Amino acid sequence: MVLPQPPAIVERSDQPYVGIRRTITMQGFGELVDRIPELFAWLTAKSLAPAGPPFFRLNVIDMAAELECETGIPIGGAATDDSSVFASMLPGGRYVRYVHTGHPDDLIEVTAAVLSWADDAGLDWDMTETPAGQRWGCRLIVNLTDPAEEPDMSKWETELLFRLAD
């Protein structure tokens, strides 16, 4: 796949967030999507405001087996873990950023193109190969489009962010 525009390298600051972590297969990704309303309800109950759109963080990836993933929402300050939701920090640093407009089903192919672009550019990821799969320092899929405002999935904007090695 040829990307319609090249990715960019951006600098990001540390970002506090709250999330829910699960180990899933690719077919189980909907389980994380279904948890987003729970996170918004949790924020409301704690009187915390979101500081950005919801995202998915891929921590450990073995596409043929399992993925350790999170669904999260950025927040403006500190929060405290409880039984179902944890508080953490997305690390700052240099990231490869690409915004895809189109159906989420295209993201596997788009991601492969972004990874290939970075390899061709000689960039090194904040990623380590482990027996469980690739462990990423920070790899995000950010939902820039609110499905309640735009139901046509072919018009959705999705931001891909991959942290680069220092």
* Structural domain that includes position 141: 8-163
Closest to 61 in 3D by CA, of 157, 137, 160: 137
Q: What is the mean pLDDT of residues 39-50?
A: 94
- C-alpha span between 38 and 44 (Å, rounded): 10
Residue 2 within a domain: no
Q: pTM to 2 decimals?
A: 0.94
Residue 159 within a domain: yes
Q: What is the mean pLDDT of residues 21-42?
A: 90
Residue 110 within a domain: yes
Note the pLDDT of residue 60: 96
Residue 3 within a domain: no
Residue 29 scores a pLDDT above 90: no
Cα separations (Å) of 159 from 42, 79, 100, 104, 133?
24, 25, 6, 11, 23
- C-alpha span between 97 and 72 (Å, rounded): 18
- C-alpha span between 164 and 166 (Å, rounded): 6
Domain count along the chain = 1
Residue 18 within a domain: yes
Mean pLDDT over the full length of the chain: 94
Residue 145 belongs to domain with CATH number: 3.20.80.10
Residue 149 within a domain: yes
Note the pLDDT of residue 145: 95
- C-alpha span between 80 and 113 (Å, rounded): 38
- C-alpha span between 132 and 59 (Å, rounded): 11
Residue 105 within a domain: yes
Note the pLDDT of residue 74: 97
Helices marked H in 21-144: 29-33, 36-45, 107-120
pLDDT in tens, 53-102: 999 999 999 988 899 999 999 999 888 888 889 999 999 999 999 999 99
Q: What percent of the chain has pLDDT over 90?
A: 84
Residue 102 within a domain: yes
